[in-house]
Structures are given as C-alpha cells and as structure tokens.
Amino acid sequence: MNEWTAVDIIIYLFIQGMAIGSLYAMIALGLVLIYRTSDVLNFSHDKMGMISAFVAYLLMSDHMPKLIDWCRGAPLFSSMGDGLITGLALAAVLGLTFCFAFLFGVLTEFFFLRRAKNPSHIGYIVITIGLWLAFDGAASWIFGTEYLSMPAPLSDFPVYHLGKVPISQLDLIIFAATSVLILLLFVFFQYTSVGIAMRATFENRTAARLMGIRTRRIFSITWGIGAVLGAMAGILTAARFDLSNTMMFAPFVKSFSAAVLGGLTSIPGAIVGGWIMGVSENFFGWYISMKLKTTFAFLVIIAVLLIRPSGLLVRHHQKKV
Amino acid sequence: MTREKDYFQEYRLVQDRPSRLLLSALLFGLVLFPLISQGDSHNYYVFVANLLFINIIIAVGYNIVVGNTGLISLGHSGFLAVGAYASILLMTKIGAPFLVAILCAGLVTALLGFVVGLPALKLEGPYLAIATLGFGIAVEQVLGLFKSLTGGRDGIDTPPYSIFGHVMDTDVTLGPIVLSSEKQIYYVVLFVMVLLTVAAARMMKSRVGRGFTAVRDSAVAARALGVNVTYFKSLAFAVSAFYMGVAGSLNAHMVSHINPSQYGLMLSITMVAMIVVGGLGSITGSILGAVLFTLIHQVLAAQDHLNAIITGLVMVLIIIFEPRGLSGVWRTIVQSFKRSPAVRGD
C-alpha cells in the first residue's frame, strides 16, 4: 500500500464503500418495503435473511454437488460446459432459497403480525423484536454458532485491478444485483397491478380496501418480497464476510440507519441512504478512527434526523389534529 | 366498572385493603427471607433475589419513559453502563463513599438522559427507536475504547458495597444469625428498590405523572391544554435514566467485574420484554415482568437458545393475546373475583 497515491486510496475507499453501501441498501429496501406497506418496522429482518442464507448454504453443500453430477449424466445437459451447469445449479438453489424466503415472510406475517389485535407502533416493534430473539435462538439451535464460509461458486471470487486498486468480483456482483433490483422494483411499482395495489395500500389503507384491493393479501406479499430481499442480502453478506448466526447484525444495524437516513417510507431513500452510509463510514474509518465507525454512523443519523425528522428524501408531515 | 383503564386505578400501587395486607405480608416476608434461609446454597437464592430487585428498578424506570410517556427507547442499556462505570470510577479514582457514588451515578446518568432525550423532542416512533438504539451501541463502543479509564473491552474490577465504612464482602455475625455478603447487599438493594418503586408510584399520581400520560396520549392536545411537552419529554428521559444509573451501579458493585459487552442490545431487549410482558405503564406490571424474566433467565441460563426462543415467543404472544400484559391478566382476575357473588355477598 505504500506506493498508493491519495487518489488511489480515495478510489479504493469509494468503491469499497459503494459495495458495502449496496449491501446496506438491499437490506434497507426490504425494511422500507415492509414498513411502507404494513407500518411494521421489521426488527427481525436480519435474522430472516440469516436463516435464508443458511438454507442456501445447506442446499449448496448438500444437494448442489449431486445436482451437478446428475446434470453431467443427463442427456440434455451433457453437451453443456461445466461452468454453465454450475451456473444453472446455482440458479436452481437460489430459486429454491428465494421460494423458501418468500414463504417464510408470508407465514411470519400470517401467524404473528396479522394476529395482533389493535396494535400500536410499540406493539409492532415488540412483536418483531420478539421474533428477532426467537429466530436467533432457533437458528443457533438448528444451525449452530460456528463461522462457516459459503461453498464453491460463492467463495474465492477473482480480484480485478483498476490501476493499482483491487476490486473483488463479488463487490461488482453486489453492485450489479442492487442496480438490477432497483430497476425491477421500479418496474414492479410502476407497471404491475400488485405493485400499484401496494402503493395504493401505502397511500391510504381504508381507501385501498374500499377500491377492492385485498389489503391483507398485499401485506402478505409485501412480507414475502421483503423476506426475499433479505435473503439476497443474507447470501451476499455470507459470501462477502462469513456465514454465522450473528453475521447480519452489524450490516443490519447500519442499513436500519441507512433506511432512517433516507426516510423510512422512501424506496430511493433506502438506496441513497445505504450508499451514503457505506461510503461515509469507510472514509471515516480510514481517515479518523476505525473503532468509532459505528458510533460515527449513528451520530450522522441523529444529526440528519434533527434537521429532517423524517429522513432525507421524505417530506415531514406534521401530525394534524 | 369497565375493563378500560381508569387513570387513578391504573397508578394506584395499593388498590384496597386486601391488597394492602397482601403487600405488607409480602414485604415482611422479603425482609425475613435471608434470615430464615441459612446455609451456603441459599446464598444463590439471595443473589437471584438481588438481581430481581435490580431488574425491578430497571423495569420501573424504563416503564416511565416507554409505558407512561410513550417514547420508545432502545438505548437504555447505555444508561445502565454509564451508571455502572460512573459509580465505579467515582469510588476508585476519587474515593467517594459507596452511597454518594451511587447517588452521583444516578444524577450523572439523569443529566445524560436529559441530553439524549433532546432528540426525542423532534423524533417519534421508529425514528426515535433507531436514534436511541444508536446511543446504546455508541456507549458500548466508546466504553471499550478508553482503555486507561474503563479498562477497555476486558472490563474493570468493581469495588464491593460499603456503607458507613463497613465493607460488605465478609460475613457478619449477629448472635445466631450469619449474614453473608449477598445477604447484606440484599437489604441495601431491597431498600433502594422499595424506595424507588414507591417514588415512581407517587410520581405517577402527581402532576408530573399526569403530564407524562398527557404527552403519551396526545402531545398536541397536551400542548393545547398548556402542558409543557418539551419539559415533560426531557424529564421522562432524565428520571428514567436516573433509575438506570442507580440500578446499573447497584448491579456493578454486586458482581466483582464488569465489561462493556454485557451492556449490549440484548440488555435493552430484555428491558423491553420485561415491561411489555409485564404491562406498559403499570408499576405492578413492571414488577411482574421483572420477576418473570429474572426467573426465565436463571432457569434457562445454561440453554441460551431456549432462553431466547421462550423470551421472544412470550413477547410476541403477549402482544397478540393480551396487550396490557401480565398486569392486565392480573386485573382481569381480580375483577372477576370481585364480581363473583360469593365475594359480594349477594
């Protein structure tokens, strides 16, 4: 590192920050999506993502080699190259994991959130904190508490170089995945009927219901989609750091702050907040203090909230009487 | 009498003569308990009782800000840590007497609570939750950082309880009764607990308590009626931080060593669990919640994951089935008992 110029360091910190920030953004997106539609601040989001990542891990380590072997023997696939087969198998595993995550989200909403009579903000927060604890306990019971690393296609990513600055392929993947997600969500909310129904539910629940939107079903779907976003983030977090039952907590707290920074009801806010968070904490960590990184993150949040109480991209509504 | 809460009913600690008798009997029993239970193995039960009393102080104080004033704070573990470290440093660096150190720790924490409460004037709901959560995490990190003062991540040794020059780390023999150090601590903690609980109950009945409730129920309406919302929000944070500071230092001096990581998010979550399951805004509820979770933690101390699962599910189920918490259950039982023909004499 001694030959690096100041510009190199800045580029390096910026790229790293954007990659981590994209991860934060992805987690924050799931949170914001759920919060917008159903008014629930999902504290258990990180544990749900972690559990899905473990499911992906188990599928990959137990079933993917068999699947690949089977593909090599099958007449249809045998003509394909090894790389393609591995890619297809990975896609199958991820598809299954996302199905699991979707169901997980839907069932969580159905069994725990929907049952609450007349809940307040505190009530919802307490339910999801309770779920956080319960999921945490269940996961450490079932999956253990050791640190694992993801199996083959999701580990040991090649490193590219931009001048002197190394860029991991994984960081590019994270960045690309988040960009694709942004596009998909935009299309989803603008052009699909479910997306429009979600927006309507967010705007005014009663009116949406009167217009014939099945708001309860919308809540379930939102939770499902949120859980899938959490699962994606969970798998990427596991690939970038390592897989354990506490792996997602630190990124989760940061993305929570990112969501608050951008405004809890704003989807662009979640993304911008995530990026700001990732880049700024990286610069702070490098130039000022590594150990106070998290503390700094929260000071920024509190400072921003004091100026804009509903986040950067959301107009603050004074409660009317 | 409806099931809805009536303000004075809600905050009356002792509701009628039977419960007053019951409470006196309970207190009497608590005073006698360490005297009756002799032997080394019973020191463990006394220790658990001490933990329980400290948890009651925590729950009562935390309930003031969350249950009574309606401000969600997820950073109260930070106040406990500040209280603990403040009194330790006061005793070891300045040589302050134990009682002074505890009181000062409470006051320092209250001052900090006032400052932390300032963002609460503008933020609400989830935004406040995340800001206070950040405060809790920041305290834990900062304490781990200043190695020279706080011992860093390794923690710090705590001086034992001492009152008027008597250090409570050896047995005291009073005629036939041997009081171990746990039992001496027991009386100190019991006294402080009763004092602070009664103080909270009286405060809730006073103008201040009504101010808190007014702010919780509708800040706008309260302001329109001339309640100084700013003042009461900050005051709620300061008062509850005072409770945390005292509880934190009582706890720190009871164990011989503390480190920053024990004041993490888990502690804040346990606090939430205690007051929500016990009953938001109810002192009886705070006590019941503290009892329940102290016991759960002790019984399941060896099985971490089971502890987490049960605590979590209890939180979820109580919100789903009885949002008023255990104190709601208790009130329902008492009322159905009062309504029964046998009691009314019909």
CATH code of the domain in which B144 resides: 1.10.3470
Q: Which residue has the tokens 């506490």?
A: A246
Provide the pLDDT for residue A292: 79
Q: Do B127 and A294 touch (CB under 8 A)?
A: no
On whether the CB atoms of residues B290 and B59 are closer than 8 A, the answer is yes
A213-218 long-range contacts (CB < 8 A, ≥24 apart) are A216/A114, A218/A37, A218/A194
Kindly tell me if the per-residue pLDDT of B316 is higher than 70.
yes
Residue B125 lies in a domain: yes
Report percent pLDDT > 70 for chain B: 92
Residue A148 lies in a domain: yes
Kindly tell me if the per-residue pLDDT of A60 is higher than 60.
yes
Over residues A212-221, the pLDDT tens digits come to 888 889 999 9
Kindly tell me if the per-residue pLDDT of A73 is higher than 80.
no
If one compares A57 and A5, the residue with the highest pLDDT of the two is: A57
Which among B235, B203, B232, B250 is positioned nearest to B105, based on CA atoms? Answer: B250
Which among A234, A289, A261, A275 is positioned nearest to A17, based on CA atoms? Answer: A275
Three-state SS for chain A is CCCCCHHHHHHHHHHHHHHHHHHHHHHHHHHHHHHHHHCCCCCCHHHHHHHHHHHHHHHHHHHHHHHHHHHHHCCCCCCCCHHHHHHHHHHHHHHHHHHHHHHHHHHHHHHHHCCCCCCCHHHHHHHHHHHHHHHHHHHHHHHCCCCECCCHHHCCCCEEEECCEEEEHHHHHHHHHHHHHHHHHHHHHHHCHHHHHHHHHHHCHHHHHHCCCCHHHHHHHHHHHHHHHHHHHHHHHHHHCCECCCCCHHHHHHHHHHHHHHCCCCHHHHHHHHHHHHHHHHHHHHHCCCCCHHHHHHHHHHHHHHHCCCCCCCCCCCCCC
Provide the pLDDT for residue B119: 75
On whether the CB atoms of residues B237 and B116 are closer than 8 A, the answer is yes
What is the average per-residue pLDDT within A260-279?
A: 89
Over residues B122-137, the pLDDT tens digits come to 777 788 888 888 888 8
Report percent pLDDT > 90 for chain A: 31
Over residues B238-286, the pLDDT tens digits come to 999 999 999 999 999 888 888 888 888 889 989 999 998 998 888 889 9
H or E element at residue B72: none
> Which member of B131, B145, B309 has the closest CB to residue A305?
B131
Residue B343 lies in a domain: no
On whether the CB atoms of residues B204 and B68 are closer than 8 A, the answer is yes
Provide the pLDDT for residue B264: 84
- Kindly state the DSSP code that residue B263 receives in the 8-state scheme: G
Over residues B189-227, the pLDDT tens digits come to 999 999 999 999 889 888 898 889 898 888 888 888 888
What is the average per-residue pLDDT within B74-96?
A: 91
A145 falls in which pLDDT band (50, 70, 90)? confident
Over residues A230-260, the pLDDT tens digits come to 999 999 999 888 888 888 888 888 888 888 8
Interface residue A310 vs chain B (CB under 8 A): yes
Residue B346 lies in a domain: no
**Who contacts B209 (Cβ-Cβ below 8 Å, separation ≥6)?**
B11, B68, B203
Chain A stretch 92-131, residues whose beta carbon is closer than 8 A to a beta carbon of chain B:
112, 115-119, 121-123, 125-127, 129-131
- Kindly state the DSSP code that residue B262 receives in the 8-state scheme: G
Residue A275 lies in a domain: no
A289 falls in which pLDDT band (50, 70, 90)? confident
Provide the pLDDT for residue B155: 81
Q: By three-state DSSP, how is residue B257 classified?
A: strand
Kindly tell me if the per-residue pLDDT of B6 is higher than 60.
no
Q: How far apart are CA A294 and CA B134, in angstroms?
A: 8
Q: Do B309 and A292 touch (CB under 8 A)?
A: no
Provide the pLDDT for residue A260: 86
Give me A155's structure tokens. Answer: 């580990």
Kindly tell me if the per-residue pLDDT of B80 is higher than 90.
yes
Counting one residue from A and one from B, how many pairs have CB atoms under 8 Å apart? 142
- The dihedral over CA atoms of A237, A242, A243, A244, expressed in degrees to the nearest 10, equals -110
Interface residue A288 vs chain B (CB under 8 A): no
Q: Which residue has the tokens 């920024």?
A: A300
Kindly tell me if the per-residue pLDDT of B4 is higher than 50.
no
A318 falls in which pLDDT band (50, 70, 90)? low
Residue A14 lies in a domain: no
Provide the pLDDT for residue B343: 65
Angle, in degrees to the nearest 10, between helices B265-278 and B125-145: 140
Provide the pLDDT for residue A319: 59
Residue B221 lies in a domain: yes
Q: How far apart are CA A250 and CA A240, in angstroms?
A: 13
What is the average per-residue pLDDT within A99-108?
A: 95
Its pTM stands at 0.87
Chain A hits for B267, Cβ within 8 Å: none
Distance from the Cα of A229 to chain B's closest Cα (Å) equals 21
Provide the pLDDT for residue B3: 42
Domain range for residue A76? 27-247
Q: Do A119 and B323 touch (CB under 8 A)?
A: yes
Which of A18-27, B105-114, B171-180 is least confident? B171-180
On whether the CB atoms of residues A234 and A53 are closer than 8 A, the answer is yes
H or E element at residue B187: helix B181-205
Chain B hits for A311, Cβ within 8 Å: 127
Q: How far apart are CA B121 and CA B52, in angstroms?
A: 33
Q: By three-state DSSP, how is residue B179 classified?
A: strand
Kindly tell me if the per-residue pLDDT of A6 is higher than 90.
no
Residue A36 lies in a domain: yes
Provide the pLDDT for residue B5: 52
What is the average per-residue pLDDT within B80-90?
A: 93
Chain B hits for A265, Cβ within 8 Å: none
Q: By three-state DSSP, how is residue B256 classified?
A: coil
Closest CA in chain A for residue B269:
A129
Q: How far apart are CA A133 and CA B204, in angstroms?
A: 32
| Mutation for B interface: A40, A133, A253, most B CBs within 10 A | A133
Q: What is the ipTM of this complex?
A: 0.83
Overall number of domains in chain B: 1
Q: Do B312 and A131 touch (CB under 8 A)?
A: yes
What is the average per-residue pLDDT within B296-324?
A: 87
> Which member of B119, B137, B311 has the closest CB to residue A306?
B119
Amino acid at A207: A
Residue A270 lies in a domain: no
Distance from the Cα of A314 to chain B's closest Cα (Å) equals 13
Q: Do B312 and A133 touch (CB under 8 A)?
A: yes
Which among B273, B236, B233, B293 is positioned nearest to B110, based on CA atoms? Answer: B236
Domain range for residue B310? 7-338
CA angle A90, A91, A94 (to 5 degrees): 85
If one compares B249 and A71, the residue with the highest pLDDT of the two is: B249
What is the average per-residue pLDDT within B276-299?
A: 90
Kindly tell me if the per-residue pLDDT of B340 is higher than 50.
yes
Kindly tell me if the per-residue pLDDT of B72 is higher than 90.
no
Mean pLDDT (chain A, rounded): 86
Residue A221 lies in a domain: yes
Distance from the Cα of B8 to chain A's closest Cα (Å) equals 23
Residue A85 lies in a domain: yes
Q: Do A122 and B70 touch (CB under 8 A)?
A: yes
Which of A9-18, B315-324, B335-344 is least confident? B335-344
Report percent pLDDT > 70 for chain A: 97
Q: How far apart are CA B83 and CA B243, in angstroms?
A: 9
Mean pLDDT (chain B, rounded): 84
Distance from the Cα of A169 to chain B's closest Cα (Å) equals 32
B1 falls in which pLDDT band (50, 70, 90)? very low
What is the average per-residue pLDDT within A277-296?
A: 84
> Which member of B131, B141, B305 has the closest CB to residue A141?
B305
> Which member of A119, A125, A130 has the closest CB to residue B72?
A125
Give me B243's structure tokens. Answer: 């409770």
